[in-house]
Amino acid sequence: MTVVTIHIYPYVTPQCMILVTGGAGYIGSHCAIRLIEEGKDIVIFDSLELGHKETVDTLRSVSKGSKVEFVQGDLKNPSDIRSVFEKYDIDAVVHFAAYSQVAESMKDPQKYYYNNVYGTLNLLSAMKDARVGKIVFSSTAATYGEPEYVPIDEVHPQMPINPYGNSKLMVERIMDDYSRAYGLRSVRLRYFNVVGADGRIGEWHVPETHLVPNVLKSVLSPGGVFSMFGTDYDTRDGTCVRDYIDVRDLIDAHILALSYLDKGGETDYFNLGTNDGSTVREVFSECEAVVGSKIQVNECARRPGDPAVLIADNQKAKSVLGWEPKHTLKESVETAWSWEQKLN
Ligand code: UDP
């Protein structure tokens, strides 16, 4: 018996635009700037609740003739996102817009399910009706939960331990069903710890919770002391091990994922990490080396919900997408430091 797969949606629609949801945020803006530099016409959709208008202005200033449209809207309002597909000829979507703080998700799960799941359903529904059939989605290592083994490959069980991870896993499952039923193909990219900056844009969260910017902010704030969460883990120096991936390498994978979908690639998912881990102390030392001075540190209790070790097995992204992360942790910290000084 011959099995024929019929795709409802066209693979490539030349001259169309790419929609970047959350394009005014940290990772979304790095994707947007790359697409602009590649001469693509893009629409940035962002509520500006967490993203920044200044980032959109920077993105616009980079364009050498390609269209950079900005729509301020909220995925929780179906009409906001539907109107984007009515107004613009969208070929593919790169979907970043989401809440992403684990601790906040524990305190207010509804906020996470409502925004990350319901908001994405509105996006997918609008895509389906507009017959837009390709999406690259920001998923996360948090969908795996407490690791059963490291490095974590893509077949590792997905058992999230917080609402943030649950919300992202729910979207992954919804996307599987949309792919099967409607031919809306997706690439889900499971990020490990994203660091670094392009320089013109960078990591800008308010409040900031992540390791590298928090170490660097402590240098720039008078009397600042960095809080190191947990020094009694069963790791080589007692602090948590994470797999830090440079944002520019991460974006390479998004560009490859878009081209994979353009060529007719099937719905799939990939880990994005380096296959290697650094402890919090090692990252802290790298920051001291880059800054060129001693940084004040306060060794604190563990932060609830932090697994001891998270490292990605990245073989699948390498072999299927042809992805190769290039930047070292030192380079990531250097770019983060330049950006942080600019932001200060
Ligand atoms: N961390 C820390 N101090 C901070 C922020 C983070 O010691 O101010 C630790 C955190 O406990 C974890 C690692 O740094 O072990 C990475 O945390 P981050 O929030 O950057 O990323 P996550 O692993 O939570 O995605």
Per-residue pLDDT tens for 80-104? 999 999 999 999 999 999 999 999 9
Ligand 1 in contact with 99 (CB < 6 A)? Answer: no
DSSP state of 141: G
Q: What pLDDT, on a 0 to 100 scale, did the predictor assign at position 15? A: 61
1-40 burial, b at 16+ Cβ within 10 Å, e below that, comes to eeeeeeeebeeebeebbbbbbbbbbbbbbbbbbbbbeeeb
Q: How far apart are the CA of 208 and the centre of ligand 1, in A?
A: 11
Q: What angle do CA 241, 243, 245 make, to 5 degrees?
A: 150
Q: What pLDDT, on a 0 to 100 scale, did the predictor assign at position 235? A: 97
pLDDT tens for each residue of 257-281: 999 999 999 999 999 999 999 999 9
The phi and psi torsions of 334 (rounded to 5 degrees) equal -60, -45
Q: What pLDDT, on a 0 to 100 scale, did the predictor assign at position 13? A: 47
Q: What pLDDT, on a 0 to 100 scale, did the predictor assign at position 12? A: 46
Q: How far apart are the CA of 293 and the centre of ligand 1, in A?
A: 21
Instruction: Determine contact, residues 185/163, Cβ cutoff 8 Å.
Output: no
Residue 10 confidence (pLDDT) above 80: no
Q: What pLDDT, on a 0 to 100 scale, did the predictor assign at position 118? A: 98
How many angstroms separate the CA atoms of 299 and 301, rounded?
Answer: 7
List the domain boundaries for the chain.
17-196+244-273
Residue 294 confidence (pLDDT) above 60: yes
Q: For residue 1, give the 3-state DSSP assignment.
A: coil
Which of 242, 247, 297, 309 is the best mutation target for the ligand 1 pocket, counting ligand atoms within 8 Å of the beta carbon and taking the most? 242
Q: What pLDDT, on a 0 to 100 scale, did the predictor assign at position 344? A: 87
Which residue, judged by its Cα, is nearest atom 16 of ligand 1?
211
Phi-psi region of 68 (alpha: psi -120 to 50; beta: other; left: phi over 0): beta
Q: What pLDDT, on a 0 to 100 scale, did the predictor assign at position 304? A: 86
Q: Are strands 193-195 and 244-246 parallel, antiparallel or unpaired?
A: parallel
pLDDT tens for each residue of 210-232: 999 999 999 999 999 999 999 99
Q: How far apart are the CA of 210 and the centre of ligand 1, in A?
A: 5
Which residue, judged by its Cα, is nearest atom 5 of ligand 1?
211
Ligand 1 in contact with 191 (CB < 6 A)? Answer: no
Identify any residues that bridge with 189 across adjacent strands, giving them in sequence order.
138, 270
Amino acid present at 98: A
pLDDT tens for each residue of 130-180: 999 999 999 999 999 999 999 999 999 999 999 999 999 999 999 999 999
Q: What pLDDT, on a 0 to 100 scale, did the predictor assign at position 11? A: 45
In the set 26, 164, 191, 269, the catalytic residue is 164
Active site residue 164: yes
Atom of ligand 1 nearest to the CA of 210: 20
Using CA atoms, how far residue 82 sits from 28, 73, 76, 154, 214, in Å, is 20, 10, 11, 33, 38
Ligand 1 in contact with 215 (CB < 6 A)? Answer: no
pLDDT tens for each residue of 307-344: 999 999 999 999 999 999 999 999 999 999 999 999 98
pTM of the model as a whole: 0.95
Nearest C-alpha neighbor of 96 from the set 29, 152, 38: 29
CATH 3.50.50.60: does it fit domain 17-196+244-273? Answer: no
Q: What pLDDT, on a 0 to 100 scale, did the predictor assign at position 4? A: 47
Ligand 1 in contact with 214 (CB < 6 A)? Answer: yes
Residue 3 confidence (pLDDT) above 60: no
pLDDT tens for each residue of 26-79: 999 999 999 999 999 999 999 999 999 999 999 999 999 999 999 999 999 999
Residue 252 confidence (pLDDT) above 80: yes
